[in-house]
Structure 1
C-alpha cells in the first residue's frame, strides 16, 4: 500500500511558521470533522472554496493534522513562481505545483498536461493534492461556478488504474468561513465535509471515454458540498441580514460554538436566498406578482421583495441604525437603567486605561510590525478594485507581519545579547501577553464607547427601537422554529449541546476565568475583531 511522499523539511518549516502566525492573526481557528480526512497513503484531492488567496492554502496546510497526512501538495497560479520575493520562495519551497491560467496568456491557451501528469503521479503515490475548483480567488459573497478540473482529474486517475478495480481515490470537500477574512484577531471556521469515494469498479461512468454530463454532475455535487458549510450568497446584504437574524435568534452570550453560529446564519441565509420556498401554500400568484414588480424596479436580487415580506424592510433599517450608533442588538434586547450605564461606564473606562497602561511597554515591539503591515496593505489597495485586491489583504498582513516580526525578535535579542539565552524566549512571550492585554483593553474601551452612545441616543429612541426589535424577534423566532426546525430555546439548547471547544464557555465561573485566559480572549460575540467598533458592514454590492 502507498505510504505517500515523506514530509520535506521546507514544508515542515513553513507549516510550523504559519501555524504560529495564523494563531496570532486570527483569534480562533476552529477545525471541524478532522476524522473525515482520509489517512496518509490514500489518494485524496482536497477541494475548498477560495476567497482569501494564499491564506486559504496555509489554513488547510495547518488544519490537517500531521498524523493524518505527511503533506498537502498545493497548487497555485503559475504567475506567482520565479520571482525574487518571499511569497514566491514560500510557494516553491512548499512543493507547490504551478497551474497555468488562460487569462494569464494573451492567446488564451494554457497547456497544463504536464501539471496534470505530475498530480496524477502524486495521487498514485498516496499523496493528498489541494485544488481550488473555483479557479480564482476574489472578494465576492458568492462561490464562483466550479471548474471541471477536479472531476476530470478523478476520471483520468481512475482510467489509468482501471485494471485495479479496488483502486480508491477520495475527494475531500472543505468549507472555509471567515468571520472577517482580513481583520486582525477575527475568527475562522474550517469544516471538513464527508469525502466522496471513487473506484473503477463502483464508478465505471467516470472511466474514459467519459461523458461530459458525468463530469458536470460530479462538479455540481462538489459545489453543493462545499457551499453547504459556508456563506454563498448573491449579495452582501443578504449575508448581513442573515447574521443579524442569527444574533436575534441566539442572542449575545449564548454558549455556542463557532460552527453552530455559522450554521444558524446559513439557515436564515437559505430562506433569504429563496424565500418563495418558505411561503405558505397557495402563494404562487402572489410570488409571480412580486417577481413582476421586482423586475420593474430592477433591484439587484430577484427575491428582495419576497424577503421583505417575510422579515420586513425594517430588518435592514434596524441593523443600519445599530451600525450608525455603534451599539449591539443586545443593548436593545436588554435595556439598562441609566444608573447602571453610568456605573459600568466608570468600570469599563478604568479597566481599559489599566490594561492600556500594562500593555504600553510591549507596544514598542508591536509598533514596527503594525506600521509595516499598514504601509504594505495601504499601497496594495491602490493597485486595483475591491473585488480584485481585498482577497489578498490577509496574505499581505501575514507575510509582512511574519517578516517584520522576525526582524523585531532578532533586533531585541541582539540588543540584549548578554542575556540572549533568556530573551530569545522571553521576547515572543512578552509580545504575546502584550497582545492579549491590548486585546482586552480594546474590548473594554469598545464597551465603554457603546455605553456612552446609549446615553446619547436617549430613552425615547431606545424605547422605540425596543418595540421594533420585539416585533422583529417574534418574526425571526417564528421563522426559525416553525420553518427551519431550530431549537425553541437556543440559549438552553446550546448550553447543553456539544463539548468544549475553542471559544466555548461552560458556566458562569468558566466564563469569568476564560476572560483572562493566556491562550485567547473569551468571546461572547463571534463578530469581534481587534477594533474599536463592531464590523457589521460589507462592501457595496456591484
Structure 2
C-alpha cells in the first residue's frame, strides 16, 4: 500500500486562510494558540475534533490555527443546509473543500443518509488528510459542552477495519478546545488549545477493528469528550463561569500579566470545584476535606459581590486597592479627560471610514437576533459580524480607491493601514473613557460605601485563597508563581517595560485584564438564556 501524502491545497483554501487570519486578528484582540507540536504532519491520517460554540467562526479559527507548515489544509464538515444557497457563506465553505453533513432536524422526514459522505471522509483520511469534525453535532449557545455523538469513534473503527491488513497504519484523533472570553464581542480574546492526540492502529487497538462492541465506541467517545472539556470553561450555568473568573482574579490579581492559557486553567480549577459542590456529592482531586455548603455560600457571595460591582460600574481591582482620596480622583479624572479628547480627536478622521462598517454590522446583527431566541441565534453573532464586517470593509476600501483614483497607488495600501491605526487609537479611546467613568463613579459611591465593600472583598479573598491553597493545591504566592509562566507568545505582558511599551504598540493594544472588549462599559455578564 502506498504511503499517504495528503491532498494538494486548493488555491481558494490558501486565499481564505490568509484572508480570515487577517479578519480574525482584527475581530479578536488576542488569539493565543497552544500545543501546536501535537498537530500531526501532512500525510498522517488525522481527525481534528473541537467543541462547537461559535458556528462558522469555530471552523475559521481552526483553519487559521493549524500551522500551515505542519498541515497544508484542514478538510472541514458543515451542515448540508448551508450548501447551494448562492451567498457568501455558502461560497466560502464550498470553495474550501468542505463536506456536507445531513442532519435529521433539517429534513422533513426526519432521516439523514451520510453513507457516501462518510465514505468520502474516510478516503480523505486514508490519503493522509486532516478532517475536522465537531462531534457535539450542533453549534450551541449554552455554556456546557453537549454530549458528543459517537460518529468520530465509529469512523475510527471503520477506517481501522478498512486497513486491518496494514500493520503500519495509524490514525490520530486530535482534540482541540476553543475558549472564547466573549465569543461575539469585538476585540475580545480567544484561547485555542490542542490536546495530546489519541492514536489508534489495528495492532494497538484490536478491539476497535470490526466487529466492535458498542461499549468500546462509547469509551473512545468519552475519552474524547474528557480531553476536549479539560481545556474549556464548561458549566451548566453562566453564573458559575462568572463566579469562577472572579475567584481566579481575586486569588491571582495579575490581569494580562498572567498568560491567557494559565488564566483559563486557573478559572477552570475554581469552576470544577464550584460545579462539584452544587450537590453534597463532591469529586475533588484532593485529600483535603471540602464543605459543599460553604462552597455554595461562597458562590452566592461572589455573585452578589459581582452584581454590586456591575451596578456601580467598577472593577474588582478598584476595590482591591485602598480608596483614593477625592483630590487624587479629581486629578486622575482630569488626566483621563485630557487624554480622551486627544485620542478621540486623533481617531475621528479614520472613524469616518469605520462608520459604515460598524453601522452595517449593527443593523445585520440586530435583524438576525430577531429571527429567533437566544439559544438559536447567539452562537452565530460572531459569524455575522465577521462576514458583514469583511464585506462592508471591502466596499469602503473600494470606494475610497475609486474616488481617489489619480492617487490610488497611495490609497490602496494607506486606507487599510489608516483603518487599523484608527482601531488601535479608538481602543485606547474607549479604554480611557471607561477609566474616566469608573473614577467618576468612585466619587459618587463615596468612601464609606467603598470601605464596606473592601471589607467584604477582604473576607471573600480570604475564603477564595483558603480554597485555592488547601483544596486545589495552588501556590501561596500566586502573583510570583504565575508572573513567571510563559512569554509574549502566550499573550501575556512580561513586565513593567512591556506594559508601558505595549500601550504604544501598533500591533496590539495593552489590556489590563482578559475580559476587556471594545465596549464603553466593562464586560462581565453573559446573555440571559430564553426560557
Cα gap change, 1:46 to 1:135, in 2 (>3 Å): same
TM (normalized to structure 2)? 0.96
Aligned equivalents of 2:74, 2:498: Cα separation in 1? 37
- Is the 8 Å Cα contact of residues 255 and 491 (structure 1) preserved in structure 2? no
Please tell me whether residue 354 in structure 1 is matched to residue 319 in structure 2. no
Please tell me whether residue 325 in structure 1 is matched to residue 327 in structure 2. no
* Aligned counterpart, 1:167: 169
Cα gap change, 1:453 to 1:99, in 2 (>3 Å): same
Cα shift at 1:313 = 2.7
Cα gap change, 1:409 to 1:132, in 2 (>3 Å): same
* Aligned counterpart, 1:59: 61
* Aligned counterpart, 2:134: 132
Cα gap change, 1:492 to 1:533, in 2 (>3 Å): same
Aligned equivalents of 2:121, 2:101: Cα separation in 1? 11
- Is the 8 Å Cα contact of residues 503 and 522 (structure 1) preserved in structure 2? no
* Aligned counterpart, 1:484: 472
Q: Matched residue of 1:31: which SS?
A: strand
TM (normalized to structure 1)? 0.94
Cα shift at 1:308 = 2.2
Aligned equivalents of 1:502, 1:38: Cα separation in 2? 21
**How big is each residue's C-alpha offset from its partner over 1:429-478, in whole Å with a ceiling of 9 and x where there is no partner?**
00000000000000001010011111101111101000000000011011
2:436 aligned residue (442, 448, 452): 448
Cα shift at 1:281 = 8.4
Aligned equivalents of 2:203, 2:193: Cα separation in 1? 29
* Aligned counterpart, 1:242: 244
Aligned equivalents of 1:26, 1:55: Cα separation in 2? 11
Aligned equivalents of 1:356, 1:51: Cα separation in 2? 35
* Aligned counterpart, 2:151: 149
1:408 aligned residue (393, 396, 399): 396
* Aligned counterpart, 2:501: 513
Task: Report the number of matched residues.
Answer: 523
Aligned equivalents of 1:76, 1:281: Cα separation in 2? 45
- Is the 8 Å Cα contact of residues 249 and 255 (structure 2) preserved in structure 1? no
- Is the 8 Å Cα contact of residues 254 and 495 (structure 1) preserved in structure 2? no
* Aligned counterpart, 2:517: 529
1:313 aligned residue (288, 297, 300): 300
* Aligned counterpart, 1:29: 31
* Residue correspondence of structure 1 range 86-235 to structure 2 within 5 A: 86-235=88-237
Aligned equivalents of 1:113, 1:8: Cα separation in 2? 25
For structure 2, the 5+ residue unaligned runs are none
2:267 aligned residue (258, 265, 268): 265
**How big is each residue's C-alpha offset from its partner over 1:495-520, in whole Å with a ceiling of 9 and x where there is no partner?**
22223325421221221011110001
1:420 aligned residue (394, 408, 419): 408
* Aligned counterpart, 2:326: 338
Please tell me whether residue 436 in structure 1 is matched to residue 424 in structure 2. yes
Cα gap change, 1:253 to 1:232, in 2 (>3 Å): closer
Cα shift at 1:282 = 11
Aligned equivalents of 1:524, 1:313: Cα separation in 2? 26
- Is the 8 Å Cα contact of residues 33 and 192 (structure 2) preserved in structure 1? yes
1:497 aligned residue (479, 482, 485): 485
* Aligned counterpart, 1:466: 454
For structure 1, the 5+ residue unaligned runs are 288-304
CA-atom RMSD in angstroms: 1.6
- Is the 8 Å Cα contact of residues 503 and 523 (structure 1) preserved in structure 2? no
